Structure 1
Amino acid sequence: MTALPTWLFVSYGGGHVNALLPVAQRVRALGLARPVYLALTTAAPAVRQAGIDMLGFRDLLQPGDVRARGHGERMAAQLQVPAADHEESVAYLGLSYADLEDRLGAEPAARAYAQYGRQAFLPLSAIERVFDRVQPALVVATNSPRAEEAAILTARRRGVPSACLLDLFGQHERERLARPDFADALCVLNEPIRQTFIAAGRPAAQVHVTGNPAFDTVNDPAMREQGRALRHEAGWDRLHVLLYASSPEPVHIPDIAGTGDPELPRRLERALIDAVERDPGLALWVRRHPSEPVMDDPGHARIRVSTRAMPLHACLHASDEVFVTVSTVGVEASLAGKPVTQLRGSILDHLSPYAAMGIAQRESGERDIAQALKTRPVAVAAPQAPGAATQRVTDVLRQLQEATRGH
């Protein structure tokens, strides 16, 4: 019996592991390959729980890595928030910084790290160790810089096919992602995003509309049913129900021009509440970001707080229209088939052009909300089937592997 090929999956935690891990699980379930996951920083617990074979930077340390370990211990001690896995943090920081020194020299590396922090890392030598150990037949990573970028570059150098999965729009990394030699396949959220990469110079055959597997549970039947129940219990079956998913607005963001207004989310919230109070045909869920202050009960029959106990996807299905500034809830709402209105004015507007990217049906300014609510937008896309993005990404990987075998 022929042994299965090994496919290497590489990602950091948060939204990136949520995007890539379902694909690794699907590949394993179908028997296409043996997935091995290089789980970076906070990705490890999720990968470990899924039972996928896993590596971390701590597994790459060798007895001779005295300099790297010294750097790692020093840098880990300076972290503002202690790492959950100290040894992994020491290995990641140390091997990455030692690689930076080897590529740039000691003084230029120190200057680069002082200016950019971990964004200066591109740990190619550490990733070479992963390739030597795993011998992957295919590499899959999301669009983060640092180790994920290093994995795709190393795959190209070694003649191993690779795919890059975008979690959202790739605005920040557009120049790198648009290069025809950066990964053999680019998996993107929708057709408008695909067209922006083709316009930027990426060959059309390399850009695939797959969606993001992290959002594959949006239309789970249980969430749809819970949404209907929430709406019915509120007595809103015959109303036009809005959901406002707010995002905190920072004053300044590194490398982003302009000044943010921290009061913007609350003013938008107030404008929506005022509009609903004036129109008996409207109702409103207010869902604040976890980092924002908890909202008091508005004390109004048609205005309710969407608490953390209420699953987001159920709340989407309990609504007819979703309002966001730059929250990824807008993306999930679009996948649920809900019309999205983007409220402009955020310092991050240019990185989340939801209307241009086919996510939002319309835009509104702070002063135009009442006027906008006089009309009812219609969603243009059918809801995405549960598991659809995971299967589409898996199909792209299968095609890459078959194309490689054909040469």
Structure 2
Amino acid sequence: MKKVLFITYGGGHVNIALPIIKALNNEDEISPIPIALTTATVKFNKEKIPYYNFFDFLKGDDFDRVKTLGRELANKHHNELSGVSLQDSIAYLGPSMHDLETKYGYEKAMEMFQTIGRKAFFPTSVFSKVFDVVKPDLVVTSSSQRAEGAANEVALERGIPTLRFVDLFGHIGNVPNSDYIAVMSEFVKKNLLERDIPSDKIHIVGQPAFDSLFGSSTISKNDILSKENLLNKEKIFLWASQRESEINVLSEEIIGTFANKKELGLIIKLHPSEDGLVQEEVLKRVGNPSNIIIIKDKYDTQDLLRLADVIITKYSTCGLEGILLDKPLITVNLSGEPDKLPFASSGAALGIYHRGDLTKAVTKVLTSPTTNAKMKESRKKFLINKDSTSSSVRLIKKIVANHH
């Protein structure tokens, strides 16, 4: 039985890992071993899939010290609202801080943590112990940050094959240095080739996190619109909001635009890390128009994406999901900084960079056949395999077969 070790954080990372882990659980010759970190544990628990944390692999003389450090940090930094259990928080913070303490001493380690928070973590010593216990045949990650990056580094040092799933476009951030790199499309492969990654390392598999996007909705479009009193609107816009430094300005621009367009519906889908207070305050200032609603987690995000006619975001992956569903996309970036994702520069979205310009973009999307035809053509470069999980499983089986 081949052992494939997955190390995953929450958010987009766990959304890539989980479908593959579930599929591998049905394979006779491969045993997936997932280490779930931070909010990934919430997703595993929701899906009722067993997972490991660092404590499952750490024993020995320094274990009491590890637990003490974990409790010390968790007392100040555990967030109950995240859904992560206190035990899982301690099991993540303790070993990560102990690694930092071993490398730099307690005072320097605490100073680093207080300055840059969890970004200080890169727990290579933890993975040395994990690998001693697990003896994996393959190590799978989807990031070069913190624990995922540390796992990749230790595996490379030991000659254990590594596979990195690039979650988005591969055009920014650290250059992936894993033995095998899985990407979602030719577009991403091209970005990596331009960063001098050898072609034979890159494998196009699609994006497992998006496979469910092409399934059927759990609730009908009309049911949602009827419940939210938006059934009579000509078109529905979905704003995939995020925690942003300029959220006040974004809220004023987007909500202000739709407050004056009563014939259109606007659904504001909050990011899980948002409380929506800023959006609620702006809504109040414009008279709480009935054509604008805020949704936190009442409906599945993919159901909302399917029902929307147009997607609005700054750089959320919901923008990419909208493109894959062949929806028009408007990106609103009022930060004065370059776009993080190439939606507008590729032609697949209309980019808004100045206050007051969203109204024109909305009109364009609703009335200009030329604009829509150009965006539709540009969306094609983002198209991906719709059964990415199966492609990913095939790649994993091929890798472990080649390294027996």
Give the TM-score band, short-chain normalised: 0.7 to 0.9
2 CA distance for matches of 1:394 and 1:359? 33
1 CA distance for matches of 2:47 and 2:188? 31
Which residue in 1 is equivalent to 2:276? 292
TM-score (norm 2): 0.80
CA shift digits 1:71-90 (9 cap, x unpaired)? 32322223263694334433
SS at match of 2:391: helix
- Which residue among 322, 347, 364 is the counterpart of 2:352? 364
**Structure 2 residue 4 is the aligned partner of structure 1 residue 18:** no
Unaligned 5+ runs, structure 2: none
Which residue in 2 is equivalent to 1:43? 40
CA shift digits 1:312-368 (9 cap, x unpaired)? 323322233212122332122112121212122136753233234x58432123333
Aligned-partner residue type, residue 363 of structure 1? G
Structural mapping, 1:213-362, within 5 Å: 213-222=208-217, 226-227=220-221, 234=230, 239-250=234-245, 260=246, 262-274=248-260, 276-277=261-262, 283-289=264-270, 290-293=274-277, 294=280, 303-305=291-293, 307=295, 308-346=297-335, 349-356=338-345, 358=346, 360-362=348-350
2 CA distance for matches of 1:86 and 1:230? 35
Which residue in 2 is equivalent to 1:187? 182
Provide closer, same or farther for how the CA distance between residues 205 and 85 of structure 1 changes in structure 2, counting only shifts above 3 A: same
**Structure 2 residue 89 is the aligned partner of structure 1 residue 89:** yes
2 CA distance for matches of 1:165 and 1:226? 33
CA shift digits 1:125-150 (9 cap, x unpaired)? 11112111111111111215121111
CA shift digits 1:53-81 (9 cap, x unpaired)? 53211223324114333332322223263
1 CA distance for matches of 2:337 and 2:214? 28
Deviation of 1:184 (Å): 1.5
1 CA distance for matches of 2:243 and 2:76? 27
Q: Is the contact between residue 5 and residue 140 of structure 2 (CA under 8 Å) also seen in structure 1?
A: yes
Number of residue pairs the alignment of both structures matches: 378
Deviation of 1:18 (Å): 2.0
Which of 118-127 and 368-377 deviates more? Answer: 368-377
Q: Is the contact between residue 61 and residue 91 of structure 1 (CA under 8 Å) also seen in structure 2?
A: no
Provide closer, same or farther for how the CA distance between residues 49 and 246 of structure 1 changes in structure 2, counting only shifts above 3 A: closer
1 CA distance for matches of 2:23 and 2:337? 34
Which residue in 1 is equivalent to 2:116? 116
Provide closer, same or farther for how the CA distance between residues 362 and 211 of structure 1 changes in structure 2, counting only shifts above 3 A: farther
**Structure 2 residue 45 is the aligned partner of structure 1 residue 75:** no
**Structure 2 residue 2 is the aligned partner of structure 1 residue 31:** no
Deviation of 1:22 (Å): 0.9
Provide closer, same or farther for how the CA distance between residues 231 and 39 of structure 1 changes in structure 2, counting only shifts above 3 A: closer
Q: Is the contact between residue 12 and residue 43 of structure 1 (CA under 8 Å) also seen in structure 2?
A: yes
Deviation of 1:218 (Å): 1.7
- Which residue among 205, 211, 223 is the counterpart of 1:210? 205
Q: Is the contact between residue 171 and residue 192 of structure 2 (CA under 8 Å) also seen in structure 1?
A: no
Unaligned 5+ runs, structure 1: 251-259
Deviation of 1:11 (Å): 0.7
2 CA distance for matches of 1:53 and 1:13? 15
CA shift digits 1:41-63 (9 cap, x unpaired)? 33234335545553211223324
Deviation of 1:163 (Å): 1.0
Structural mapping, 1:382-393, within 5 Å: 388-393=387-392
CA RMSD between the two structures: 3.3
CA shift digits 1:232-279 (9 cap, x unpaired)? 995569x454333333432xxxxxxxxx362322222212443x35xx
Indicate the percent of aligned positions where both proteins have the same amino acid. Answer: 26
